[in-house]
Amino acid sequence: MYIPEFITINQFQLQLWTVFVFIAFVLYLFVVWFEGRKDGFDIEKLFDTAFLGALSAYVFSKILFELSLRSAVVKDIDVEIGSLSVLGAVLGLGFCLIVLSRTWRWSVYRLLDVFSLSVSAFLSLSILSSFLIYKNINGLYASVLFLGQYLILTRFRNSKLKSGFVFSYSIVISVFIVSLLFEEYRSLIFILLLITMSLVNLIFRERKDMTGRPPISQNLLNSLKNVLLSKRKQLKKEQRILDQIDPANDTDRDIDNADPIDEAVLEDTSKEIVDLRRTSADNMQQLVRKALARMRIGNYGICEVCGKPIEEARLRIYPEATTCTEHMGKE
């Protein structure tokens, strides 16, 4: 079933592909929030990064498009969609993420992973418009493949894949999908540039591991893992207790003969205390999950800000630590 290219609202013609792009952008923001939350990023700053990244991608895209009109060299390298440069969008988003990761002392590899997944989700929905509106069957195939890319990489991120690998794999898979289904966007130089970018990222990521891997003994690692697993079990138990004592879940709270005003004040106070404890437990559980995931992929004990070993004494006291003492305020 296809949909029209335009709809008219009070004599105003709206192109429906713009609606798809808007909804895809909302999905992009959701994935940034959903994936970034797993890594413990500050949500407010993360949304700032999402909007600034999109703006930077657009500005770089327009600049490179204008350059391609004046330079045959740039035109041969680039791939364009309408009046936008794809290479410019990639460079703009990447530049913004690198600058902000340095500014806020975040792991650039984790940030690139989060945004590569969000872009995959964005492409999956936005490209669907080429099928539903313009009857291009390849748009449907590409949409399904980009969705599959997102789901598979999300499944293995932080469990099988080290940080930074998702970004590189996303680039390679995206290049393959576009080259396979859209002949008009096949540019050998452009493809080689993106694959080179992917390989450079992997090389730098591996070099960081080789220079920053801490000498944690297997016995200590097993001991810390047991501590984390025990803490995770305790936190789950605490959450069940909080659910039981939460006034909002008490079905008999209106049956007794207590003064309604006093009861309301007491219930509000109890609710605040329970919510604070639940938030604290949720945050701690997230840190524990993150530490266990880092153990699985082999980069536990490496500061995610500077890449240096986390002090052994700090890990013994605080096994869910993902930063060294110098950067402990960035967790």
SS3 236: helix
Give me the chain's average pLDDT, please. 84
Amino acid type, 139 = G
Residues 6+ apart with CB under 8 A from 281: 235, 238, 239, 242
11 to 6, 7, 8, 19, 30: CA distances (angstroms): 12, 9, 6, 17, 33
How crowded is residue 39: how many other Cβ atoms within 10 Å of its Cβ?
21
Tell me, yes or no, whether 193 and 237 share the same domain: no
pLDDT value at residue 175:
92
pLDDT attached to residue 210: 57
Distances 311 to 53, 111, 212, 215, 319 between C-alpha atoms, Å? 34, 24, 12, 10, 11
pLDDT of residue 196: 93
Which range is least confidently modeled, 30-34, 99-103, 141-145, 260-264?
260-264
268: CATH: 1.20.120.910
Residues 156 and 257 both lie in one domain: no
Evaluate whether residue 113 is within a structural domain: yes
pLDDT tens per residue, range 78-127: 888 888 899 899 999 999 999 998 888 787 888 999 999 999 999 999 99
Question: For the residues 223-242, what does the mean pLDDT come to?
Answer: 86
Residue 1 lies in a domain: no
Residues 95 and 147 in one domain: yes
Residue 285 sits in the same domain as residue 316 = yes
Closest CA to 195 of 179, 215, 218, 217: 179
Q: Please check whether residues 14 and 133 belong to one and the same domain.
A: yes
Instruction: Give residue 223's identity as a one-letter amino acid code.
Output: S
CA distance 270 to 28: 37
CA dihedral 136, 140, 145, 147 (to 10 degrees): 130
User: pLDDT tens digits, residue range 19-51?
Assistant: 899 999 999 999 999 998 877 677 899 999 999
Question: Distance (Å, rounded) from C-alpha 214 to C-alpha 204?
Answer: 18
Query: Which residue among 193, 212, 231 closes a domain?
Result: 212
Q: Which domain holds residue 199?
A: 6-212
> Confidence band (pLDDT; 50, 70, 90) for 165?
very high
| pLDDT band of 200, cuts 50, 70, 90 | very high
Asked whether residue 265 carries a pLDDT value surpassing 80, the answer given is no
The whole-number pLDDT of residue 76 equals 81
Tell me, yes or no, whether 197 lies in a domain.
yes
Point out the domain boundary residue: 183, 212, 241.
212
Q: How far apart are the first and last CA of the chain?
A: 49
